[in-house]
Structure 1
Amino acid sequence: MRIPKTFLLAAAATAALVAAACSPAPADQQAGGAATPGYLAVADPAVGAGGELDIQIPVDSGAASGLDPQLADVAVSWQLMSLVYDTLVTVGPDFTAQPALAQSWDTPDDTTYVFHLREGVTFSNGRAMTAQDVVGSLERLMAGQGVWRAQIGPVETVTAVDAQTVRVTLSTPYAPFLAALANTPAAVLPMKEVTDGSLDLTRTMLGTGPFVVESHRQDVSWTFTRHDGYWAEDKPGVDQVNITIAPQEQARIAALQNGSADLVALGNVDAPELLTGVRGATVGNQSTTDFYYLMLNSNAPGGKFADERVRKAINIAMDRDAIARTALNGLGKPTGVTPAGLPGSCDPAALPSATASIDEAKALLKAAGAEDLSFSLAVFSTEPAPVIAQVIQQQLGEIGVDVRIEQLDEGSWAGRVYGEVPATFDAAMSWFAGYASAGMVAQWWNPEKAVFNLGFMKPNPELNQVLDTAIATPEGQDRAGALRDLCTAVDEDAQMIPLVTRPALVGYRTDAVSPTLYENEGYGNLLRAIADYRLLTK
């Protein structure tokens, strides 16, 4: 099973693509030029609705496992499906739960959630959404095989109190529950049609969201048209969304320059500088909770990382600040397993690996009889991953460890890392989506729950206990301590080592589109507020 992660962006563009012109307005100034806290940009509601929005992104995973949102396990799928599907709650720019299909909710105790459903919501086939659709969707998610089943928590019962009210009871407290409901795999589905067999969710998307799918050509394009019966007043603000799959970053930058795209996803961390001075174009750096991490294979033949002293030495030797500065142009941040930027996240500078010295790392290698350690590091070729690997290579050289970088295309990399149990690679680098609650992503550190990493990670019962405590502890002073304990336990286990957060860059035409973009994003959803967008040219 592949772990949920956001889409990987394409290689760096060259400066030769950049044409000199007047500087555009900053990305955080929209709707009269006033910056709005928590947003890179806010759509101007005074601009009339209508028109076609043209977007370019690098990857299309829309048919990899079918179109069923409950089986979606990568963020590009969540992003595309969010145009069609709505969830009970969403997350605001500060990661707090906000109303969506549920206009409000009550929590009479730590294990009970009562959702009051919004009236007037219809699926795009015209049928009204009911409480039974909500109940059936959650029950189907819990009974299914999708990866999000592990994140939704210990749901015990889901019942329809009446036509507009749903009660969810958990078996134990679970702090990330609302955050887990805010992601696309937890969307409300048309369960009447699913149950009677008139709808195959793997082939057809049918939701309550702002758009419907007009056409889709795998790895080529998507076309979405407005859902005229959408429940949000005066939304969506555009009639059609055309999404082109453009794997080459140079092509996306060129489309932004010549105006053939209104908005593009970018991966080159130098893109803001490269596009400075291009008239009508701007690039916003959207902070994310995603983060890069290093996998040390504890199950590999030969046992290079079976000894925790070796793993700890590797962890100590890595300077996360230097990785962020050198490989990410200062756009990423050092992080522990609770993603930097999320409320309650621990301070990575206070972790045991950050407070230990290079001499201590060398002593650990000597005690483990691994003074001449050498290993191969598998890394996908998409930028900036190769640069991060080179920085790691240099840093580990300082403690006498020889790292050979094995750079692969993403498909070959995935086969190398996830294709065998037990896995045969030495070490590998990847990244996680960090989600919207500080303890959520840490659940993948339990390989018996995550499954995808059983090939290279040994279960750690002590770590699992700390993890279970952290996700069950409600908000408050005790939760902060539980999260710190979790960060420390992951740091000392050092089988999957968090490194730095992964920035997401979005370029758009300030003379063509007025978008709404969060300053911070937890689910890799560049298009989270697309229903708000307004086109300045029709």
Structure 2
Amino acid sequence: MRTGRPGGRCSPVQAPERDPASGRRRGNGTPTPIRQARGPQGTEGRGGAGREALCRTPSSRSHFPTFDVPPAIPGCYHSSMLLLRHGRILLLLLLVSACAQKLPVDEGRLVIALPGAPVNVDPRVATDAYGEQILQMTHASLVRRNAAGEPVPDLAERWESPDPLTCVFHLRPGLRFHDGRPLTSDDVRYTFSWILDPANRSPHRALYRHIEAIGTPDPRTVVIRLSEPFAPFLSTMVRGIVPAGSPARGYAPPVGAGPYKVDDLSPDGEAVLSAFDAYYGGPPAIRAVTVKFVPDSNVRFLELKMGSVNFVLNGVDPDLLPAASLPGRLAVEEGAGGNVTYLGFNLRDRALSDARVRRAIALAIDREAIVRSIWKGRADLVESILPPGSWAHDASLPPIRFDPARSRRLLDEAGFPDPDGDGPLPRLRLTYKTSQNEVRRRVATVVQEQLRQLGISVEIQSLEWGTFFSDVKKGNFQIYSLTWVGIADPDIFHHAFHSRSAPPDGANRGGYSDAEVDRLTEAARREPSRSIRREKYRRVQRILARDLPVFPLWAGRNLLVRDRRLSGFVLTPDESYAPVRAMRIVPDPSTPASGGRR
């Protein structure tokens, strides 16, 4: 295994400016390909994007052209590449500046750009972040979470628990769905009964197994009876309610009762939403919302600068934030983040079933260098998937520090010695799956190079989001990287690591099994005392830190880039889009009234 350094003056611990089309192996220059796997919708740039004219109306569903940047050497940060990338963006901005037009914000429209399209927009089955974020704007639940993550009234104006096994919800008067139908207790019962029906294969079914019966004594009262005490019960009630009889219709969302209704939804383009006048909290001030699905980070930034997109939450590359912060139409906000990015392992794999191999991989990844060079310091290292702000987070977990020497010793002990010294043969070969998100691909490229230095050959498969997430849920991976979004309760440990929580009943995708983790997570579910639950979850976190079924990497900070005229959005640690309903468009004295002419 040869680990020689490349020529030139590049620092070996810094990340590449761009995720190259092929990552070059350091030392002998032989390329290690990044495989662009084709999913159902094709690769990035599908639907002819990249061939249309630059001048177009902001409401068009297709996107701006992408452009190529020469590949960088993995493990190095090229300032020249940064200048070239920003120079090309500036050139495109100059070209399109002649296409003066009225911007969406001038017409009262909020245009959000998401880094990917949702896999599903049905609250009974959706599990991906993009689908959940749209549902936060379109569907209402019995309860919702406030900025601190605590349950507060939503469709239910109040509730009480006469005993540990019973919860009685009282619905607000006059509730209606988007199609005008009254929302009653029958709809609540239908929604949860549908999820509990094994024939429907809902991935949320395991969360509601403790429900023994749902009573509806009158149209505004729901009585839920549990089979046993269940401490995180209220947090599971954050689930969008749909009308009784609503079938699962593939990509088409069922009718909701949230502040916005869905007028149109295209998996290849965008979701078009409009204000719901009969929303119980009053119609939102911004009447029209478009959610664009824009996988390419450069395109998202271009659309922001041009004004055809005016709201991006955690979708602007850290490299581009200085340009977004310059005086002009855009404003940048930063807030605490509670979404944890992690590396997942398939414990059914022969090599990865050995905890020594998993720890060796963790020790070989220089997380501090990645946070510094790719995230520009806007992320915090973590040792647990439970975010630092959680009441059950164990801050005493020992950190996993970059230690390649110890990593090599662990691989030797696990039976994966260096086969040829300074030769080219690796200790083992692995496949790393990720999405086509630009930053995620750059992270994967740096991890690839860091593991190559250890003697592990890594093939990166960069997949279309739907294909990638489907593979993860099916267990079709060796290593993958994802981010847990919106963790509200430490019961996530049961959902993600209990031996009976394999998909579709949970998120134990790697096949982890530990009798003590099973026992502790089950006991914590039944325990009403928060202090006792905290101690049980701390013990769980110590076991997971020992076994490393997943390797927690960092919690990214929330970064919002928006038009200055948009106000009222409150950043929350869980990256919630629910505050969109409180947004307004206000005058900006520093911006000319014409907005799009500059």
Q: TM-score normalized by structure 1?
A: 0.78
Displacement of 1:322 in angstroms is 4.4
1:423-456 deviation digits (Å, cap 9, x = unpaired) = 5x54333333252123325522235423267775
Aligned to 1:251: 299
- Once residues 479 and 253 of structure 1 are traced to their aligned partners in structure 2, the CA distance between those partners, rounded to angstroms, is 44
Displacement of 1:131 in angstroms is 1.5
Aligned to 2:160: 106
Aligned to 1:470: 524
Matching residue's letter, 1:106 = E
Matching residue's letter, 2:117 = D
- Once residues 519 and 152 of structure 2 are traced to their aligned partners in structure 1, the CA distance between those partners, rounded to angstroms, is 31
- Once residues 271 and 508 of structure 2 are traced to their aligned partners in structure 1, the CA distance between those partners, rounded to angstroms, is 35
Matching residue's letter, 1:386 = R
Aligned to 1:389: 444
Query: Cα distance 1:187–1:241, how it changes in 2: closer, same or farther (>3 A)?
Result: same
- Once residues 325 and 467 of structure 1 are traced to their aligned partners in structure 2, the CA distance between those partners, rounded to angstroms, is 35
Aligned to 2:241: 188
User: Of 401, 404, 413, which residue of structure 2 is paired with 1:367?
Assistant: 413
- Once residues 204 and 358 of structure 1 are traced to their aligned partners in structure 2, the CA distance between those partners, rounded to angstroms, is 48
Aligned to 1:38: none
- Indicate whether 1:439 and 2:496 are aligned: no
Aligned to 2:212: 156
Aligned to 2:567: 514
Q: Answer yes or no: is the 8 Å Cα contact 2:385–2:552 preserved in 1.
A: no
Query: Cα distance 1:181–1:267, how it changes in 2: closer, same or farther (>3 A)?
Result: farther
Aligned to 1:69: 123
Q: Answer yes or no: is the 8 Å Cα contact 2:497–2:512 preserved in 1.
A: no
- Indicate whether 1:137 and 2:191 are aligned: yes
Q: Answer yes or no: is the 8 Å Cα contact 1:262–1:508 preserved in 2.
A: yes
Contiguous gaps of at least 5 residues in structure 1: 1-7, 20-49
Aligned to 2:389: 342
Query: Cα distance 1:58–1:389, how it changes in 2: closer, same or farther (>3 A)?
Result: closer
Query: Cα distance 1:364–1:249, how it changes in 2: closer, same or farther (>3 A)?
Result: closer
Query: Cα distance 1:475–1:434, how it changes in 2: closer, same or farther (>3 A)?
Result: farther
Displacement of 1:390 in angstroms is 4.5
- Indicate whether 1:209 and 2:237 are aligned: no
Query: Cα distance 1:432–1:104, how it changes in 2: closer, same or farther (>3 A)?
Result: same
- Once residues 154 and 503 of structure 2 are traced to their aligned partners in structure 1, the CA distance between those partners, rounded to angstroms, is 31
Matching residue's letter, 1:354 = I
Q: Look up the SS of the partner of 1:254 in the other structure.
A: helix
Q: Look up the SS of the partner of 2:231 in the other structure.
A: coil
Q: Look up the SS of the partner of 1:166 in the other structure.
A: strand
- Once residues 98 and 419 of structure 1 are traced to their aligned partners in structure 2, the CA distance between those partners, rounded to angstroms, is 31
- Indicate whether 1:123 and 2:183 are aligned: no
- Indicate whether 1:15 and 2:86 are aligned: yes
- Indicate whether 1:88 and 2:142 are aligned: yes
- Indicate whether 1:296 and 2:345 are aligned: yes
Q: Look up the SS of the partner of 2:381 in the other structure.
A: coil
Displacement of 1:261 in angstroms is 2.5
Q: Look up the SS of the partner of 1:491 in the other structure.
A: helix
Aligned to 2:202: 146
Q: Answer yes or no: is the 8 Å Cα contact 1:434–1:441 preserved in 2.
A: no
- Once residues 371 and 364 of structure 1 are traced to their aligned partners in structure 2, the CA distance between those partners, rounded to angstroms, is 9
Query: Cα distance 1:519–1:218, how it changes in 2: closer, same or farther (>3 A)?
Result: closer
Q: TM-score normalized by structure 2?
A: 0.71
Aligned to 2:380: 333
Displacement of 1:476 in angstroms is 2.4
Query: Cα distance 1:420–1:486, how it changes in 2: closer, same or farther (>3 A)?
Result: closer
Larger deviation: 368-377 or 73-82? 368-377
Q: Look up the SS of the partner of 1:77 in the other structure.
A: helix
Q: Answer yes or no: is the 8 Å Cα contact 2:370–2:446 preserved in 1.
A: yes
Displacement of 1:158 in angstroms is 1.6
1:293-330 deviation digits (Å, cap 9, x = unpaired) = 22233323xx2122223223334454544443343222
1:80-119 deviation digits (Å, cap 9, x = unpaired) = 2333210111111111111110112223444332212111
User: Of 535, 545, 568, which residue of structure 2 is paired with 1:481?
Assistant: 535
- Once residues 318 and 107 of structure 1 are traced to their aligned partners in structure 2, the CA distance between those partners, rounded to angstroms, is 48
Displacement of 1:287 in angstroms is 4.0
- Once residues 88 and 412 of structure 1 are traced to their aligned partners in structure 2, the CA distance between those partners, rounded to angstroms, is 29
Query: Cα distance 1:132–1:116, how it changes in 2: closer, same or farther (>3 A)?
Result: same
- Once residues 185 and 111 of structure 2 are traced to their aligned partners in structure 1, the CA distance between those partners, rounded to angstroms, is 36
- Once residues 128 and 560 of structure 2 are traced to their aligned partners in structure 1, the CA distance between those partners, rounded to angstroms, is 19
Matching residue's letter, 1:241 = V
1:18-66 deviation digits (Å, cap 9, x = unpaired) = 69xxxxxxxxxxxxxxxxxxxxxxxxxxxxxx933233333222xx45x
Query: Cα distance 1:247–1:402, how it changes in 2: closer, same or farther (>3 A)?
Result: closer
- Once residues 261 and 217 of structure 1 are traced to their aligned partners in structure 2, the CA distance between those partners, rounded to angstroms, is 17
- Once residues 248 and 444 of structure 1 are traced to their aligned partners in structure 2, the CA distance between those partners, rounded to angstroms, is 30
1:4-31 deviation digits (Å, cap 9, x = unpaired) = xxxx9x9999433469xxxxxxxxxxxx
Q: Answer yes or no: is the 8 Å Cα contact 1:335–1:347 preserved in 2.
A: no
- Once residues 481 and 319 of structure 1 are traced to their aligned partners in structure 2, the CA distance between those partners, rounded to angstroms, is 30
Matching residue's letter, 2:386 = P
Aligned to 1:236: 284
Where in structure 2 are the equivalents of 1:298-337 lying within 5 Å? Answer: 298-300=347-349, 303-318=350-365, 320-337=367-384
User: Of 210, 234, 238, which residue of structure 2 is paired with 1:178?
Assistant: 234
Matching residue's letter, 1:165 = T
- Once residues 86 and 237 of structure 1 are traced to their aligned partners in structure 2, the CA distance between those partners, rounded to angstroms, is 18
The CA RMSD over aligned residues, in Å, is: 3.4
Displacement of 1:412 in angstroms is 9.5
Q: Number of paired residues?
A: 479
Query: Cα distance 1:274–1:105, how it changes in 2: closer, same or farther (>3 A)?
Result: same
Query: Cα distance 1:388–1:434, how it changes in 2: closer, same or farther (>3 A)?
Result: farther
Aligned to 2:79: none
Matching residue's letter, 2:566 = V
1:449-489 deviation digits (Å, cap 9, x = unpaired) = 23267775343333322332334433522122111111112
Query: Cα distance 1:122–1:315, how it changes in 2: closer, same or farther (>3 A)?
Result: same
Aligned to 1:43: none
Q: Answer yes or no: is the 8 Å Cα contact 1:338–1:439 preserved in 2.
A: no
Query: Cα distance 1:172–1:324, how it changes in 2: closer, same or farther (>3 A)?
Result: farther
Query: Cα distance 1:272–1:127, how it changes in 2: closer, same or farther (>3 A)?
Result: same
Query: Cα distance 1:439–1:392, how it changes in 2: closer, same or farther (>3 A)?
Result: farther
